[in-house]
Amino acid sequence: MGSAWAVVPAAGTGTRMGGTVNKQLIELSGRPVVEHSLRALLAVPVDGIVLVAPPGEESNFARALKDIISLNRIIIVHGGADRRESVGRGFMALPAGVGLVVVHDGARPLVRPVRVREAMKEARRWGASTLAVPVKDTVKLAGPDKLVQETLPRELLWQVQTPQVFTRELLLEAHRAAARDGYSGTDDASLVERLGHSVKLVPGDYTNIKITTPDDLLLAEKIMGLNPA
Ligand code: C5P
């Protein structure tokens, strides 16, 4: 199937985090958030990583991550206006011969390498996989008027995370189709689903949170304290 590489979108503006430092460069246990995400990927069999930084922040990222970059194959490119565009730009920077692409949010520093390996294994079998956890709360669908339209069957609902892993050809086809149709989506798996292709859910951990607001950073510090690396 060729080698595996990771694409790490980290080009979000992080407006919900507030502050001036990019949320992926904020320190968590003494290291930038995104460095933890990169280290988890370097602990699995990937041959290199394309890190997607916000436009104009490539050198900031390179400086903040110079130790890890000097010792590993990490390429920095700049992202786009939305997540799909950022992943697409990262994808374009992959070297020839890559067979499997591991897409992992820069803002998910707590992923466990064992889970990344499980997602890679299932993607080799199914073509596409994503880490996910069963939804704990009851989920309702509502209109813009906040009136409930429907209660969704909880036993069938999963909250998806990253990594999401794909064969190179499938991810390319999915991104091309989405760009052509003007579909952004909020994850890569949804772009693959639009093609009518199966995506395998791989049970993950509730601790694999995405750092979005300052509360998440506090929670992440606590989780790291409970499970020191
Ligand atoms: O908050 P959101 O779900 O959009 O972010 C998921 C990941 O996608 C984050 O790591 C974020 O930095 C990244 N992203 C990106 N480019 C964008 C928007 C989000 O790389 N334009």
Ligand 1 within 6 A of CB of 8: no
Q: 97-146, pLDDT tens digit by residue? A: 999 999 999 999 999 999 999 999 999 999 999 999 999 999 999 999 99
For residue 84, report the distance from its CA to the centre of ligand 1, in Å: 9
Could you tell me whether strands 128-134 and 158-167 are parallel, antiparallel, or unpaired per DSSP bridges?
antiparallel
Alpha-carbon distance 175 to 155, whole Å?
A: 30
Whether the pLDDT of residue 229 is over 70: the answer is no
Whether the pLDDT of residue 168 is over 70: the answer is yes
Whether the pLDDT of residue 14 is over 90: the answer is no
At residue 227, the pLDDT reads: 73
Alpha-carbon distance 7 to 9, whole Å?
A: 6
For residue 12, report the distance from its CA to the centre of ligand 1, in Å: 4
At residue 98, the pLDDT reads: 97
For residue 147, report the distance from its CA to the centre of ligand 1, in Å: 30
Could you tell me whether strands 31-32 and 48-53 are parallel, antiparallel, or unpaired per DSSP bridges?
unpaired
Ligand 1 within 6 A of CB of 86: yes
At residue 139, the pLDDT reads: 98
At residue 21, the pLDDT reads: 77
Q: 31-73, pLDDT tens digit by residue? A: 999 999 999 999 999 999 999 999 999 999 999 999 999 999 9
Residue with CA at minimum distance from ligand 1 atom 3: 186
At residue 13, the pLDDT reads: 81
For residue 14, report the distance from its CA to the centre of ligand 1, in Å: 8
Give mean pLDDT, residues 88-99.
97
Buried b (16+ CB within 10 A) or exposed e, 20-58: eebbbbbebeebbbbbbbbebbbebebebbbbbbbeebb
Query: What are the DSSP calls for the chain, one per residue?
Result: --EEEEEEE-----GGG-SSS-GGGSEETTEEHHHHHHHHHHTSS-SEEEEEEPTT-HHHHHHHTHHHHHHS-EEEEE--SSHHHHHHHHHHTPPTTEEEEEE--TT-TT--HHHHHHHHHHHHHHSEEEEEEE--S--EEE-TT--EEEE--GGG-EEEEEEEEEEHHHHHHHHHHHHHHT---SSHHHHHHTTT---EEEE--TT-----SHHHHHHHHHHHHHS--
At residue 88, the pLDDT reads: 98
Q: 201-228, pLDDT tens digit by residue? A: 999 999 999 999 999 999 999 999 887 6
Alpha-carbon distance 201 to 192, whole Å?
A: 13
Residue with CA at minimum distance from ligand 1 atom 19: 12
User: Best of 50, 87, 92, 105 to mutate for ligand 1, by most ligand atoms within 8 A of CB?
Assistant: 105
Whether the pLDDT of residue 180 is over 90: the answer is yes
Ligand 1 within 6 A of CB of 108: no
Q: What is the pTM of this model?
A: 0.96
At residue 16, the pLDDT reads: 78
Indicate the average pLDDT of the chain: 95
Alpha-carbon distance 140 to 123, whole Å?
A: 31
Among 74, 98, 81, CA closest to 166: 98
Ligand 1 within 6 A of CB of 163: no
For residue 22, report the distance from its CA to the centre of ligand 1, in Å: 12
Whether the pLDDT of residue 30 is over 80: the answer is yes
Ligand 1 within 6 A of CB of 116: no
Domains and CATH numbers, the chain: 3-226 (3.90.550.10)
For residue 11, report the distance from its CA to the centre of ligand 1, in Å: 6
